Amino acid sequence: MSDKRVILVTGMPRSGTTWVGRVHASAPKSAYVLEPLNVVARLSRPTSPYNASVLWRLLHRAILHYREAHPNWIFLRHEDLSHDPIGQFTRVFSELDMPFTDRTEAFLESTSKGNHQDFIHQRTPTNIVARDTHSHVKVWKDRLTPEEIAQIRDLTKGVADEFYGDEGWE
């Protein structure tokens, strides 16, 4: 039996659909080449809110199964990490019996705060991207129309409700 712990980070469906659309817009020839037998690969390229919502729902149904089947795994929400990186990582380090040092805290502070310039304020020589994490989780408000948000919410309800309440949709 392995003593390794799995950490799984989830995100709101309305954020995931903007991410999927942005990835495919910037890399139009991308595909699910690593999972050719996956049902997701048979969906048309998920650039629309509909297809991205179906993809989110499929993945998060599986995550719900993993959450029940593996109570020792650590499940986190991307939004919680973004709003409270120090508190959330302190909790994760504690659960993993790892020391949360001043150096770790300083690193998190330096990579999660900054100016609102495309949500990235610094690239380091080691390619660590620093983001304004508080602003980053709100980018969907600029990328989706109210109609798209309503469609995504409708398509992901039930599954999304297991992860998020109404507060994430404002």
At 35 the pLDDT is 41
Torsion sign, CA atoms 30, 36, 40, 45: positive
Question: Is 8's pLDDT higher than 80?
Answer: yes
Mean pLDDT score, 91-102: 94
Task: Report the alpha-carbon distance of residue 27 to residue 33 in Å, rounded.
Answer: 13
Alpha helix ranges (H) inside the chain: 13-26, 39-42, 49-69, 78-83, 85-95, 102-112, 133-136, 140-143, 146-156
Task: Report the alpha-carbon distance of residue 108 to residue 87 in Å, rounded.
Answer: 11
Site of tokens 């973004």: 82
At 52 the pLDDT is 79
pLDDT in tens, 13-32: 776 554 444 444 444 444 44
At 103 the pLDDT is 93
Mean pLDDT score, 72-93: 91
At 53 the pLDDT is 85
At 23 the pLDDT is 45
pLDDT in tens, 31-80: 443 344 444 544 544 457 777 788 889 889 999 999 999 999 999 998 88
At 136 the pLDDT is 66
Question: Is 167's pLDDT higher than 90?
Answer: no
At 63 the pLDDT is 93
Which class for 104: exposed (0-12), middle (13-18), buried (19 or more C-beta within 10 A)? Answer: middle
Looking at per-residue pLDDT, the higher value among 1 and 125 belongs to 125
Mean pLDDT score, 136-162: 84
